[in-house]
Amino acid sequence: MADNLLTLSGVHTLIGPYHILQGVDLSVPEGGVTVLLGRNGAGKTTTLRTIMGLWTASQGEIRFDNHLITKLDTPEISRRGIAYVPEDMGIFTDLTVAENMMLAAASGPLDAKRLDWIKELFPPIGTFWGASAGTLSGGQKQMLSVARAIIEPRRLILVDEPTKGLAPAIIKAMTDALRELKETDTTILLVEQNFAMASTIGDTVAVMDDGRIIHSGAMSELVGDETLQEKLMGLSLEAHQ
């Protein structure tokens, strides 16, 4: 297994009076897909937001590429090479698809070659290039959100439930795209409730409950071990199977 690109050790996050993360220890190996599983309210989204600096950890350390990033602000974390695809997709609906993409290329003009590749991955990006992003369908918005995250080469992408509420065909397109992205040296931390999808794409897996990681290991191990699955599923995925 490669070195860890991202490690969280003993991370606690408070949101107002609520203690959401209660000592998260998580390692994301470089160059693969790590899937974060867990039921609603387990703290998956908070984990991603804490990595991104949108919430600040009250305790613990977050290291990215061997540098401490716990106290950095969000723009700085982004510039270090982490992109974020939030659960609500964070599309600027008032702007066009093109403008959304342009802003995502924070360091300079759009890279034409990379854009062509993205348009191949997600054809609607090209089709609706000049259209207002607010008029896109849910699946198209999801594609735009991922496209924005990868328009510049990033080392790590945090993706929060990219298949939520989407039709099977679009889920497949999304899975294909993430798989192709994996081929390009990009590490992915994926929050997913759809275990079927997660198991086909994930290399490593971590399961959260009540603000802690309760299991982590190789995805193949979890897929092969039905008792373990049952134990964790019963705990974390009951509503989604």
Partner 1 sequence: MSDTAIKPRMEKVPFKEQFFQKLPVLLVPLLALAGLVAIGNPASWLTLTVAGLAMGMMIFIMASGLTVVFGLMDVINFGHGAFVAVGAFVGFTVLAWLAGWTASPSVMLNLGAVLVAILAAMLVTGLLGYAFERVIVMPVYGQHLKQILVTMGGLIVAQQMIYVVWGPDELHLSRPEAFQGSIVFGEAAIEKYRLVAVGIGLALFLAMGHILKNTKVGLLVRAGVENGEMVESLGYRIRRLFLIVFMTGSALAGFGGVMWGLYQETITAHMGSEIMVLVFIVVIIGGLGSVEGCFIGAMLVGLLANYTAFLAPKVALISTIALMVVILMWRPQGLYPVVKAK
Binding site for partner 1 (CB under 8 A): 52, 54, 73-75, 78-79, 83-84, 86, 88, 90, 92-95, 99, 102-104, 106-107, 123-124, 127-128, 131, 134-137, 139-140, 148, 169-170, 172-173, 176
| DSSP, residue by residue, 60-84 | EEEEETTEE-TT--HHHHHHTTEEE
On whether the CB atoms of residues 20 and 190 are closer than 8 A, the answer is no
Q: At its nearest, how many Å lie between partner 1 and the CB of residue 165? A: 15
Give the residue with the Cβ less far from partner 1, 67 or 238.
67
Give the residue with the Cβ less far from partner 1, 7 or 132.
132
Q: At its nearest, how many Å lie between partner 1 and the CB of residue 227? A: 36
Q: At its nearest, how many Å lie between partner 1 and the CB of residue 86? A: 7
Q: At its nearest, how many Å lie between partner 1 and the CB of residue 49? A: 9
Please measure the distance between the N-terminal and C-terminal CA atoms of the chain and give it in whole angstroms: 30
Query: From CA 230, how far away is CA 130, in angstroms rounded?
Result: 48
User: How many C-beta atoms surround the C-beta of residue 46 within 10 A?
Assistant: 23
Give the residue with the Cβ less far from partner 1, 69 or 232.
69
User: How many C-beta atoms surround the C-beta of residue 110 within 10 A?
Assistant: 15
Q: At its nearest, how many Å lie between partner 1 and the CB of residue 16? A: 12
Query: From CA 200, how far away is CA 190, in angstroms rounded?
Result: 12
Q: At its nearest, how many Å lie between partner 1 and the CB of residue 110? A: 12
Query: From CA 62, how far away is CA 13, in angstroms rounded?
Result: 12
Give the residue with the Cβ less far from partner 1, 39 or 148.
148
Give the residue with the Cβ less far from partner 1, 102 or 228.
102
Give the residue with the Cβ less far from partner 1, 3 or 94.
94
Query: From CA 28, how far away is CA 48, in angstroms rounded?
Result: 12
On whether the CB atoms of residues 198 and 229 are closer than 8 A, the answer is no
